[in-house]
Chain A
């Protein structure tokens, strides 16, 4: 992974987001440069997915942990934000109950369940966006890495984890909206969510957090810690004989990655307007892995690239030929693993390397 490509990526993400925001807010409707609001939301959604992809790349690309449950952390962050947004609705719900969200009134709740307390406070909610995915990752990772569960086994139990959460969140007794999830949000930090300026603000915020995630991830993987991590990825037992504790390294990066995914989810929910248990479905987690594979595993930039490209493709396909989308996605999985193991960035790098000696030869005489 080169510094240059990461800087380019940061520039692209930030610049793109700002340009879209300007196009939406400053350009008059009807102008060729006007950007419709739905496109702003769509771009914001892509950037949130890109954050999830960076989180997946951090554990898969650099620690060799193929998590098939990362969307669970994304969804948990989303639920934490959703709970805050739910409390913000206040008396504007259908039933006009100041304390209880609509679905609770509907389900005959008498009072707010204990775990909903505090979510009316934005600072607490933001803390939970980080803490809930982080703590789950800490407990799960501590158990898994300590007993040296790795490779495919780890993948399967991460999948089981998100599957268990999926089933749990579908239950009405969970007090989180069951099947329908949390929706009908009105405003965030007192600002109406539907306003164009809010949408643009959220897009830019997503871009900023994605850039931060990339910078943090880059710092981690290029530090000595990162070198140990890569060593653990490729030859775990050897690092142990050198005196390193791979489980500690994996645990740190797993928790960091879960927190990133959680923040991504928290930014995703206000832009989409809903969070429901479907986000926990194992298919979502695996899809996020393929974004990374498409862009190029272990490159960070590739994760962003893959997430944006694949989701852009999905938007186009599901609009035009919805039946073909699953064929296309399935084929993408197969083609990338068979023919493009390094992803798009791997391909570009190889071509760049091939081009370099040629240029040098030209310059020689």
Chain B
């Protein structure tokens, strides 16, 4: 009985083995095993029809006729898979069946097939596919591809792919294995590490060098994790910086405690929403640049609101900080309710343009574009703000008024006007922050509420009236938060940072970088 079965199998394989020489397609559409072998044969055949056939197989568009002819169905008609010519397909087509083994084989085959593409990006992708499949069958193709490869980056990945394939091939020599381990160790990411730790057996040297490589990769990974933490921290810090930069002007420079600051941020976020809506209706082609329009719009909207607030409310309360606090809190309630009445209480959708979504890898770092752009944006806003204070005549007058109001007035500076403009500037910056925050937070009437306490803490921690202090403080708080998070969880991290801040302020009430001198003493 056993013997009979063996014979049957041999009989079944014999024609396949014979035909494999001349027709790499042979067996395709037979059993899963036959299909898999056919794919592998195609991959090394150099047949020009190999790629479209395997792609069609992957997409479920490869069919087999009762006469074993293979057909690719396209929208414009059927194509004979062996010849690549259009023809009338016979009746009784059945799709070529797939299982996981077939899919894997197809992926690996495509990987080695596209190793010869003219486009380096595709070659790179192919090499990465081989690296993941670790299929020793791809070795000959990889060898040929490496001989021809000119692009250094693609070459490196191909070498890594070859190393991976070599390590999983059973008959590789120890020396080659150790060399391959070296290549993977240099790659240094988690995939390399998991590949290396899957090595078992082989000579003691191989095992030891693999273990060393795994440890080395773990060290490298630790550094990357650290760097990733710093990136997340910088990203949170830049959000804090954006939220606090305007406050650093209104509270830090002018000494006005504006509890409606968060609502200026919120107005900026809603301006983004309105600008996007308007563009969608009137100029859909400009949608991608919507944020670029929203930035000045938000600056103007929030800035104007700020000037109005200063003229109508705050100027009556100068010198009464606690009353200012209460009145502006009342204002913030009204602004929230107004926005809720106009736009509704639910979150509004602000679209993220294509150039801001997605992520890139930089070594072991995952860098999401929206975070990256927000960091850059925060840096630009701060630089612009500093430049405005330092180099414009408005900035000069602002500094004069805040340093010595009466003297400035005596020099002919219209101090009330400067007060209004300074407040408008701070509010406008808050509005710009709102544009950025609309990309990472829910645009709702409560948006600003979430940032107000944090913003005040940033400004106070950094030292009032000092933009550099605000910068350092925002980044410090952001990074501290992100490093405590894995230890204690997000909420507890925030609480801990708040408590530490409260303790810090009690130790150094004037912040990290206090202004010194007699003016402060008074």
- List residues of A whose CB falls within 8 A of some B CB: 66, 68, 140, 143-144, 146-149, 151-153, 155-157, 159-161, 163-164, 167-168, 170-171, 282, 286, 289-290, 293, 323, 326-327, 329-334, 336-338, 341
Contact = CB atoms under 8 A, between A and B. Distances in A.
Given A157-B502, A164-B498, A171 B491 contact: yes
B21 interface: no
A261 B357 CA distance: 49
22 contacts: A68-B325, A151-B321, A152-B257, A152-B321, A153-B505, A153-B509, A155-B322, A160-B501, A161-B502, A164-B494, A167-B498, A171-B491, A289-B326, A326-B333, A326-B334, A330-B332, A330-B334, A331-B334, A333-B327, A334-B327, A337-B320, A337-B330
Interface residues of B, number: 41
Nearest to B510: A153
Interface string B332-354: 11111110110000000000000
A144 B502 CA distance: 9
Interface stretch (B194-202, B280-288, B369-377, B453-461): B453-461
Interface string B296-340: 000000000000000001001100111111110111111111101
Given A144-B506, A171-B492, A333 B498 contact: no
Contacts of B337: 323, 326-327, 330
Contacts of A326: 333-334, 336-337
A160 B502 contact: yes
Nearest to A171: B491
Contacts of B495: 164, 167-168
B503 interface: yes
Contacts of A151: 321-322
A333 B501 CA distance: 29
A66 B322 contact: yes
Nearest to B332: A330
Q: Which 4 A-B pairs have the closest CB atoms?
A: A333-B330, A330-B334, A330-B333, A326-B337
Contacts of A66: 322, 325
B518 interface: no
B507 interface: yes
Interface of B: 257, 313, 316-317, 320-327, 329-338, 340-341, 453, 456-457, 460, 491-492, 494-495, 498-499, 501-503, 505-507, 509
Given A163-B453, A329-B333, A333-B333, A157 B505 contact: yes
Contact of A323 (B321, B341, B453, B492): B341
Contact of B326 (A147, A157, A171, A290): A290
A311 B334 CA distance: 18
Given A155-B322, A323-B341, A341-B323, A149 B453 contact: no
A293 B509 contact: no
A326 B498 CA distance: 28
Contacts, number: 118
B470 to A, nearest CB: 15
Given A330-B335, A337-B324, 6 more contacts: A147-B507, A149-B505, A327-B338, A330-B333, A333-B330, A337-B317
B319 to A, nearest CB: 12
Given A156-B460, A323-B341, A333 B326 contact: yes
B183 to A, nearest CB: 46
B467 to A, nearest CB: 19
Given A161-B502, A333-B329, A153 B453 contact: no
A149 B326 contact: no
A331 B335 CA distance: 11
A159 B335 CA distance: 21
B321 A160 contact: no
Contacts of A338: 313, 316-317, 327
Contacts of B453: 156, 159-160, 163, 282
Nearest to B323: A337
B488 to A, nearest CB: 11
Contacts of B492: 168, 171
Contacts of A159: 453, 456
Most buried by A among B324, B492, B498: B498
B144 to A, nearest CB: 59
B499 A286 contact: no
Contacts of A331: 330, 334
Given A330-B334, A334-B327, A334-B330, A147 B509 contact: yes
A282 B320 CA distance: 21
Given A167-B495, A338-B327, A147 B501 contact: no
A304 to B, nearest CB: 19
A329 to B, nearest CB: 6
Given A323-B337, A330-B330, A333-B329, A156 B491 contact: no
